[in-house]
Chains A and B, each alone.
Chain A
Amino acid sequence: MSLELARRLVEILLALALIQQSLEHLRGFRDERILFGARIGLAILVLAGVAGPWPLVGLAGLSLLILHRFQGPYNGGSDRMGLLILWCLTLSRLSPTPMLAELAFGYLGAQLTLSYFISGWVKVVNPDWRSGRALRDVFQFSAYPVAEGLRAFADRPRLLRAMSWGVMGFELAFPLTLLWTPALVAGLVVAGTFHLANACLFGLNRFFWTWLSAYPAILWLQGRIF
């Protein structure tokens, strides 16, 4: 995959993700409607491939105003990943040399890999995760399960222990998928399914669309390095 194609795919997927998120804010307070209305306009320009790279620059500038509005990300990790994608894309588009453009975009692919590996590492060093207790806590009392009925999963410790090891094993092994394109594609399918499950069980729909939009960056990086 060429750099140009990968960047364009990320742009399209990110623009769609931003439009989806921004539409949700149009139900919010007036200042939110103004900020996110503007974001929809700029994202449509990015989607259409018009006047590049300036709509991306506009989105990057607007992201600072949105961060100021909420005094941080609105939805934690998913918004942070969205910002990372947006800023890497913008810097790559504005880079004066092809090498700097590749570096900015490659950084995104590298961070995507780290997003899985480090998440796995911080879990596997925690005894509560290794025993399944942490995932039990998530279902038992955390704010995430979308329905009270899902809390019943906390009563199935063996299943949760197996699920914990499944998640940790996948996250830790993810960097190995970079060695072979079919393995990477399979890894991304598993990762996408993982985000889909999180969206259904914990209502984290933004994670699903945001992470998905960064996948072309890692496919490009894999081809560039190996």
Chain B
Amino acid sequence: MPPRVQALVAPLKLLAPALVPSWNFFDVIAPAPRVEYALLASPGDTGGIWRVFRPRPERVSLARMARRLLWNPRWNQSLFVMSCAERLAEDRTPEHSETELFRRIAADLAAEPADATRPWLCFRLVFVHREGEALTEEVMVQPAPRRLAEIDIR
């Protein structure tokens, strides 16, 4: 298919599952992705400390739940990050998903004091699933680190 036609058809392909939906919500409980990131001194540095991206709070009050009915940008963005993690693990839109994950993590890090000794950002996707009664974790994706300063967060 010529690239121009492909560009026109691509959004319609994305629209089709919305117009003819499958409605198979939660039919199976798939392994759950957790995004972890680390700041590194160099691309080959293995001494970075892995941190969970946006860990959940221990509790959320009823008042806060009510507020989130109308204003919930951070959580909805976290759900999008989970979608990107799943897409990346399944090799669907891998470049787009990887870039989105780097950008979202870098945007959060921009609010923290910069660590000049660790200018490289790396992330990994840890998938949690159940085997029998035990929960197991598996690192499924760990892309090459990117220089934090070069990630576009505008």
Give the B-binding residues of A (Cβ under 8 A).
Answer: 20-21, 23-25, 27-30, 63-65, 67-68, 70-77, 79-81, 83-84, 87, 111, 114-115, 118-119, 122-123, 126, 128, 134, 137-138, 140-143, 145-149, 196, 199-200, 203, 205-206, 208
Contacts and interface: CB of A to CB of B under 8 A. Distances in A.
B27 A123 contact: yes
Contacts of A118: 22-24
Contacts, number: 148
A136 B24 CA distance: 18
Interface stretch (B42-50, B72-80, B116-124, B141-149): B72-80
Contact of A71 (B27, B72, B93): B93
Contacts of A70: 80
Given A72-B93, A147-B57, A200-B66, 16 more contacts: A23-B71, A24-B72, A64-B12, A79-B18, A114-B21, A123-B27, A128-B29, A141-B32, A143-B32, A146-B65, A148-B57, A148-B59, A199-B65, A200-B65, A205-B76, A208-B69
A36 B21 CA distance: 24
Interface string B91-114: 001001100000100010000000
| Chain A interface SS verdict (over half) | helix
Interface in B24-75: 24-29, 32-34, 56-60, 62, 65-66, 68-73, 75
B11 A68 contact: yes
A98 B119 CA distance: 62
A172 to B, nearest CB: 13
Given A146-B56, A199-B69, A71 B77 contact: no
Interface of B: 10-12, 14-15, 17-19, 21-29, 32-34, 56-60, 62, 65-66, 68-73, 75-77, 79-80, 82-83, 87, 93, 96-97, 103, 107, 128-130, 135, 153-154
Contacts of A142: 29, 32
B58 A147 contact: yes
A203 B57 contact: no
Contacts of A87: 15, 18-19
B14 A67 contact: yes
Given A24-B72, A83-B15, A141 B129 contact: yes
A27 B60 contact: no
A122 B154 contact: no
Contacts of A122: 23-25, 27
29 contacts: A20-B70, A24-B72, A24-B73, A30-B154, A64-B12, A68-B14, A75-B76, A76-B79, A80-B18, A81-B21, A83-B15, A83-B19, A84-B19, A87-B19, A115-B21, A119-B26, A122-B23, A122-B25, A123-B26, A138-B26, A138-B29, A141-B32, A147-B57, A147-B59, A199-B65, A200-B62, A200-B66, A200-B69, A203-B76
